[in-house]
Every structure is written in structure tokens, then in C-alpha cells.
Amino acid sequence: MTDHVSTDAAPHSAPPEIDAATAARNRLVITILLVSTFVVILNETIMSVALPRLMDALDAPASAVQWLTTAFLLTMAVVIPVTGFLIQRNNTRPLFMLAMGLFSLGTLAAALSPNLEFLIAARVIQALGTAIMMPLLMTTVMTLVPPHRRGPVMGNISLVISVAPAIGPAISGIILEYLTWPWLFWLVLPISLMVLILGSRRIANVTTPRYAPLDIISVPISAIAFGGLVYGLSSFGEPAVGDEGGNMTGLIAIGLGVVAMAIFVFRQVALQKRDRALLDLRTFTSKNYAIAVAMMAIFMMALFGTVILLPIYLQNVLGLSTLNTGLMLLPGGIIMGLLGPQVGKLYEKFGPTALVVPGSVVVSAVLWAMTLLTPETAWINILIGHIAISVGLAFIFTPLFTVSLSSVPPQLYSHGSATLGSIQQVAGAAGVALFIAIMSAVSGGALASGQAPVAALSEGITAAFMTGAILSLLTIVAATLIRRPPDFGDTAAGPGGH
């Protein structure tokens, strides 16, 4: 496995030297995309604190309400592979308007939702827009920003991506303290519409579309693969009903997902020889890219599982209000956001390994500490732990984003960002499903043995954190293998490049 891949398909070339006017245009495009990404991520994370409230308001168990997050992530995982094709075939502006238009429509539908099923469907529409926005941002940045400036720019992206989750739970807590849950969406809707109007007027087309074939067969295969895996994991979170039917359904779904994934990978490998793959897997011939994506998957599983479990622990075990729960998660996220640009500068100076290794150690240490949580744990310990894990993640995400996409040549940027996004979302959905499943199974067993409900729930949560802690050990080993990516230069596009 090497850190170089080659192909004749070249939708983008490495950023050339540009004049001041073009540089100003590029900065405006990236800024609008960053603001839009902030809005869609804020929407994604604003639900975490709200889940316990929604369980009561909609009279649904955790295993059902979790689909508000799982369905969102799963939709993104199914749609993101197609965005590689969309980015190659279309200009920046129409893709942006499609993404924010779908997101705004889904937000309106969510605000008007009469029940859980309708709300989940609205979240799916939101996810369709989010699925386009994330790869569009990453591909545009990689296309417009020269290699020697990517560290700081990725740091700014990390700032936006981390500040949104930071203020999301706090905003959610404040809203739910004084208003009902539909206001979570009513307040986001005007912001998304303002961004849509601004972008429709000011965003410019900054890429050159080219012909890219769409393999129709690969689309449903990928949906079955990702959907089967996540649905199967989620089914293990369902409460026992006296038989093993639920577990058998989950096993069948996982088996179907594994088979479909194998078929999908085999088909992409065959199609990429003719540059017709939905996802060109030649990105994985870069060792840096492969390791970075694997680490990102593990961290996404642990991160999204933690984001789901902490509010449940803080509210249902420690008895904190939704407002206090949101405020508890605010300092760590803000610190993570403030560190983003600084980590980008450190990346340029020291490279990825010096940042990712200590960051992975810190995250792992905090996850292991969370396995010691009890109903008597002081809230200040949770606050310190959340700040510590946020600092660790700040030293991880900027280098991993930069290393992964910078390790493939420009003609594979859209495939690399789409593959990275797909794996991130599947891993996040799997993390949510797995953590909830473990929590439900262990707490259910503890209840059956006669433990008090609060103690049983606490035991289930710590068992789920144990899973994340074990997974985190793998990232420490992988972190030592990360290297500074090669500089492909302007000739990287190869024959046929633009």
C-alpha cells in the first residue's frame, strides 16, 4: 500500500496560483459554505439533549426515539456516495441551493410534525440536504486551497464543526426549559432560509463540471449494505418481548448488510478500472487515507454514542434539567472550537503524528474514566471529563481531515470526501445504535435482577462506555502510523485533468 494513486479521471486539479479577485471570490464561497455547514450541524446536534424530553412527549422508548438520530445519519450514509457523482457533474451554486432547499423543507416539516413517525421522516429530508452540504464543503476547500494553506483552513472548519455541537445542546436546553420541542426547528428555520437566500445571491461556481457516469445498480446496493448494518444494530436496542424474534431480525439484517457491502465493494473495484465507480476505492491505496478514515470511523462511533448517552445519564441518573445538561456540554465544545485554528497552525509546524497521538490518548483515558460513573458521581467530574475529551478531539479531527483528503490526488477529491463522509455517518449511526443497544440490554438485565431503575440505567450506560473505551485503544496504535501527506502539486491531475 502506498501514498500515491493515479487515474485518468480528473474533475479537479491542484489549486493554481490565483489573482486577488479570484482569491476574494474563493474566500466568500468557502465562508458561505462554512456558515451553511454550521447551520446543518447545529440542527444535527440540537437533538441530543432533547431525546429524553421527546421520549416523554411522544410516549416512545429510547430505542425508538434514537431513530431521530440514526435515521438522519443513515440517510446521510446512503446519499453521500451519490454526492461524489453530483459534485463532478454540477456547479457549486445549484448544488448549494439543492442542499439548503431540502434542509429548509425538512426543518419546516419537523416543526409541524404531529408524531414520531412524521418527525423521523422530516429528519430524513433534512439529512438529504446535509448529505450534500458536507462533501461539497470539503471538496471545494480541497479544490481551492493550496496544500500549504490547508492546515489553517481545516482548523477553521474544525472551529465551525465543533462550535455548532457546543452551542447546540445549550440552545436545546434553553428552548426546552421554556418552550415545547417544535421550537427546536422553528428557531432554526429562519436561519436556514436566510443562508439559502444569501447563498443564492452571492455564491459563485468555482469548479468545472465534467461528465461522470452514475452506476444505478450501485445506489440500491449501497443502501441495502449501509441500511442493513445500522438497522440490524438498532434492533438489538429494542426491549425484550418474550421471544428472540427481534434479535433474529437484527441478525438477518446485519447478515444482509454484510453481503450487500461485499457486493458493493466488488462492484466498485470492477467499475473503477473504467472510471465508472460510484465510489472510487483507489483512495484506499493511500495508507495515510486508509488509516485516517479507520480512525475517524472509530472516533465517530465513540463520539456519537457519547453524545447520546451523556444527556440520558445527566438527566435520568443525576437528575439535571435539560437546561443544565446543555450548559454542562457547552464549555468543552467552545474550547474545542477555539482550539481548531491553533491546531491547524500546529499541524503546519509539527505534522499530524505529534497531534493525533496525544489526542487519542486523552480521548481513550476519558472514555475509560466514564466506565466508572455511578449515580453518586459529582457533576463537576463530568464537566472536567467532557472538557478533556473535547481537547483531545480538537487535536484529532483537524489533522485527520487534512491528512485523509490531502493523501489522494486532486482528481479523487470528490470520491475521497464522499467515502470519508459515508464511513463517518455509518460509524456514527452504528455507534448510536450499539451504545443504546448495550445500555438497553445491560440495564434491562439489571432491572430483572432487582436493581433500582436509576442504578440499573447507570450500569447500562457505563457498560456502553466500556465499548467505546475498548475501541479507543485501537486508535492509539493507528495514530502512530499517520504521516504528513505528499504534496501532489499542480501536475497531480494527470492526463485529462482540468
The whole-angstrom separation of Cα 229 and Cα 250 is: 9
Successive 10-residue mean pLDDT values, the chain, 498 residues: 44 52 77 85 75 80 77 77 76 88 95 91 92 81 73 71 69 81 91 89 72 79 81 58 54 89 92 82 88 87 79 87 79 81 84 91 93 90 90 87 82 79 75 82 87 89 90 88 70 34
Question: How confident is the model at residue 243, as a pLDDT?
Answer: 41
Domain ranges of the chain: 20-484
Residue 455 and residue 106: Cα distance in Å, rounded? Answer: 38
| 195, 184, 125, 134: CA torsion to nearest 10 | 50
CB 107 within 8 A of CB 51: no
Cell of 326: 446543555
pLDDT value of position 206 = 66
CA 262 remoteness from chain centre: 23
- Phi, psi at 56, each rounded to 5°: -80, -45
pTM (two decimals): 0.74
Residue corresponding to grid cell 442493513: 228
Q: By C-alpha distance, which of 72, 85, 87, 3 is closest to 41? A: 72
> Going by C-beta distance under 8 Å and a sequence separation of 6 or more, which residues neighbour residue 418?
80, 81, 83, 84, 87, 135, 279
Res 161: pLDDT: 67
Composition of the chain by helix, strand, coil, percent to 5: 80, 0, 20
State the residue for C-alpha cell 467552545: 334
Query: pLDDT value at position 325?
Result: 80
Residues 286, 4: Cα–Cα separation, whole Å: 6
Question: How far apart, in whole angstroms, are the C-alpha atoms of residue 162 and residue 333?
Answer: 6
Please give the Cα distance from 105 to 83 (Å, whole number): 19
Q: Does domain 20-484 sit in CATH 3.30.1540.20?
A: no
Residue 5 has a pLDDT of: 46
Cell of 258: 454484510
Cβ proximity of 495 and 11 under 8 Å: no
Give pLDDT, residue 244.
43
Site of grid cell 483515558 = 365
**339 contacts 451 by C-beta, under 8 angstroms:** no
Taking alpha carbons only, the member of 469, 418, 395, 488 closest to residue 132 is: 418
- Residue recorded with cell 416543526: 111
Please report the pLDDT score of residue 302 as a whole number. 79
> Can you name the residues that pair with 3 across neighbouring β-strands?
none
Residue owning grid cell 464561497: 29
43: nearest Cα among 141, 132, 129:
129
The residue with cell 438497553 is 440
